[in-house]
Amino acid sequence: MKKNIAFLILFGVFGITTALTISTDDPPDTILMVSNALKAGNSSDLAKQFNPTVEMEILGEENIYSKAQAELLLKDFFTKNKPSAFKVNHQGTKGSTSFAIGILVTVSGNFRVSVFLKSENSQMLIHQIRIEESDDSLK
């Protein structure tokens, strides 16, 4: 009986240690990386998360762009609208897709940003991004 209890304790400690190791070795959260890039107005870091083609809408102008074109359009947007904060208000995951919707605060006003991601070769990549004017503020 004492051997069984010792075995269960040892197995439990090993299981907890393994779970902690796995969680600390997980890749960085893509939504967090996207949020940080938006907050900093860093189109280059954001483009690292892009699919090779991205459906993008910025203030009513919508099209499908290559990764490089999308990065240049975002760089231009961030130059005209310097960000000071970004907060995710809604996010979720279903199967191999994820989304995040938040408010980007800039010197020019606030914008609602919607980002849609899909898993490609075990990596979450941005397939669609929308930036729209918004009256909302950070709450």
Residues 90 and 63: beta-carbon distance below 8 Å: no
> Taking the domains of the chain in order of start, what are their residue ranges?
28-134
Q: What is the CATH number of domain 28-134?
A: 3.10.450.50
Q: What is the pLDDT of residue 51?
A: 96
Strand order across the 97-106 sheet: 61-66, 50-58, 123-134, 109-120, 97-106, 83-94
pLDDT tens sequence across 23-72: 333 345 889 999 999 999 999 999 999 999 999 999 999 999 999 999 99
Q: How far is 71 from 32, CA to CA, in rounded Å?
A: 18
Output the pLDDT for position 68. Answer: 97
Residues paired with 123 in a beta bridge:
120
Q: Which residues contact 67 (CB under 8 A, 6 or more apart)?
A: 47, 50, 51, 52, 53, 54
Residue type, 14: F
Highest mean pLDDT: which range of 15-29, 79-93, 125-139: 79-93
Look at residue 8 and tell me whether its pLDDT is greater than 60.
no
Q: Residue 121's pLDDT band (boundaries 50, 70, 90)?
A: confident
Question: What pLDDT is stored for residue 2 in this prediction?
Answer: 54
Strands annotated E in 1-139: 50-58, 61-66, 83-94, 97-106, 109-120, 123-134
